[in-house]
């Protein structure tokens, strides 16, 4: 079974701009597999959930079970930090909509130390 994470963001920025932030060489990212094996998807998502009232963008990260997981996790961290730095909206990173690894509401950021290595955080 593949391991998947969903990163949702409340922003007025179009999905195409978020795509270029993650993978600059791809104009609009619907699905992209990186050299580490990580599969990334970006799409508009306005479905309310229990964590964010009105997420606008959803970024999916799916680990390739046949590749080394460490570099894939590092890549997820780099992408999430890049988006959080560029966008000020509320955000959540979760696994299977059950485990929350990062939650930002306003200026408050809460992270799970079991997922984030301290040296990866700005």
Sequence-ordered list of residues with C-beta below 8 angstroms from that of 21, at least 6 positions apart, any chain: 82, 83, 86
Sequence-ordered list of residues with C-beta below 8 angstroms from that of 98, at least 6 positions apart, any chain: none
pLDDT value at residue 24: 80
pLDDT above 70 (res 42): yes
pLDDT above 90 (res 72): yes
CATH of the domain at 108: 3.30.70
The answer to whether residue 105 is domain-embedded is yes
Q: Average pLDDT of 67-77? A: 93
- Per the structure, the count of domains in the chain is 1
Domain coverage including residue 36: 4-117
pLDDT above 70 (res 82): yes
Q: What is the pLDDT of residues 85-119, one digit of tens each?
A: 999 899 999 998 889 999 999 888 888 877 766 66
* Whole-angstrom distance, CA of residue 5 vs CA of residue 76: 9
The answer to whether residue 122 is domain-embedded is no
pLDDT above 60 (res 122): no
Question: 55 to each of 3, 37, 41, 45, how far by Cα in Å?
Answer: 22, 27, 15, 6
Neighbours of 96 (CB within 10 A): 9
């Amino acid at each position: 079974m593949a391991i998947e994470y969903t990163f949702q963001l409340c922003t007025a920025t179009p999905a195409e701009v978020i795509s270029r932030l993650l993978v600059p060489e791809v104009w609009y990212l619907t699905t992209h597999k990186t050299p580490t094996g990580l599969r990334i998807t970006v799409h508009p998502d306005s479905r309310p959930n229990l964590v964010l009232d009105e997420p606008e963008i959803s970024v999916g990260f799916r680990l390739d079970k046949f590749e080394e997981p460490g570099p894939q996790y590092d890549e997820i961290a780099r992408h999430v930090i890049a988006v959080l730095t560029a966008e000020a909206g509320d955000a959540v990173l979760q696994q299977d909509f059950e485990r929350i690894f990062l939650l930002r509401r306003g200026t408050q950021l809460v992270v799970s130390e079991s997922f984030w290595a301290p040296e990866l955080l700005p």
